[in-house]
Amino acid sequence: MVSGLEVRDVTVKYGPTVAVEGVSLHVEPGTVIGLLGASGSGKSTLLRAIAGLQPLSSGAILWDGEDLAPVKVHKRNFGLVFQDGQLFPTMNVAKNIAYGLGKLPKAAQRERVEEMLELVGLAGYGVRKPTELSGGQAQRVALARSLAPSPRALLLDEPLSALDTALRRRLADDLARILRETHTTGVYVTHDHQEAYTVADVVAVLDEGQLLQLDSPESLRERPKNKQVAAFLGYRAFVTEAEAHRLGWQGSLETGEVLGIGPASLHLDPNGYEVDIIDQTLTVEDVEIKVALPDGQTATVSSPTKVDALSTRVTLAGGAVVPA
């Protein structure tokens, strides 16, 4: 018997449109899997199917070997966290968190609420109304409410996507810590690579309803299964070993492999290879410089300030090994 959550050859259709096609994966107890993909990739549909909110066209969802098809949504004992948090505006924070604790005595409910508030870093916020919270605080309360009844799994659908980038990064770190501290079995939907790498133990890359690769964050970054996965993960240029060495890379490739160059692959280096600057874009954290590689492809390199020149020098420090 397979323990934990099992998705077995699941297909979901909306009329004639196939939203998820033949996806199989296993989430071991106490681990978190990230469903990573662009809009329309099928990741949220798959999450809804696991929750029981979306009927399957074929395949099965199982928990500890039990087919969940006949089990209603509220009987599956899965916690749900959505993008907008869906807090009850007329209830204060404490009552929102206690919403699923009706079977416990009042004293036990209060104790559990305080425990959850401490866990998510909001001790003392119980008397506040949801309208008095920031977006990040509201999502922490939504997380606390979902964890309070001790669900056997937690399903999170883009819970941080409505927040600004800096806050999203901080909350992703906090969320990863909380899920690990509570040994939560989780399914985390996101379109953000960094979020998936931070929160999930294993990441499933989806595109047009199909599972392209299921791997650890480290393996995804270092060895994408193909150029399609690599491109989605931010590797836009692909160079041979000879071209990589020309740019200063010290590694080696096997026959039939190329090196994917991503946003962090190139470093500015006064002793590096000279490349022409095509464009420079100011971002929140740095300046993104678009450069022309020797073979005509383009890539980006990060700089603390704009470069007042037509060219710059770079070194290729790393990349992703990809089948050619």
List the pLDDT tens digit at each of the 324 positions of the chain: 789 999 999 999 999 999 999 999 999 999 999 999 999 999 999 999 999 999 999 999 999 999 999 999 999 999 999 887 789 999 999 999 999 898 899 999 999 999 999 999 999 999 999 999 998 999 999 999 999 999 999 999 999 988 888 888 889 999 999 999 999 999 999 999 999 999 999 999 999 999 999 999 999 999 999 999 999 999 999 999 999 999 999 999 999 999 999 999 999 999 999 999 999 999 888 999 999 999 999 999 999 999 999 999 999 999 999 999
The partner residues of 266 in beta bridges, in order of sequence, read: 301, 316
CB contact at 8 A, 47 and 81: no
* Comma-separated ranges of CATH 3.40.50.300 domains in the chain: 5-230
- At how many degrees (to 10) do helices 135-147 and 106-119 cross? 130
Q: Quote the pLDDT of residue 86.
A: 86
CA 38/CA 21 separation, integer angstroms:
16
Q: What angle (nearest 5°) sits at the alpha carbon of residue 257, between those of residues 271 and 272?
A: 5
DSSP state string for 176-235: HHHHHHTT--EEEEES-HHHHHHH-SEEEEEETTEEEEEE-HHHHHH--SSHHHHHHTT-
Tokens of 224: 């994408």
Q: Quote the pLDDT of residue 57.
A: 97
Q: Quote the pLDDT of residue 120.
A: 93
Nearest to 154 by CA among 52, 102, 77, 44: 77
User: Which residues lie closer than 8 Å to 219 by C-beta, 6 or more apart?
Assistant: none
CB contact at 8 A, 275 and 246: no
The CA-based diameter of the chain, rounded to the nearest angstrom, is: 71
Residue 127: Cβ within 10 Å count: 10
CB contact at 8 A, 12 and 46: yes
The DSSP bridge pattern shows strands 32-36 and 186-190 to be: parallel
For the entire predicted model, the pTM comes to 0.91
Architecture of domain 5-230: 3-Layer(aba) Sandwich (3.40)
Q: What do you get for the CA distance between the two ends of the chain, in Å? A: 39
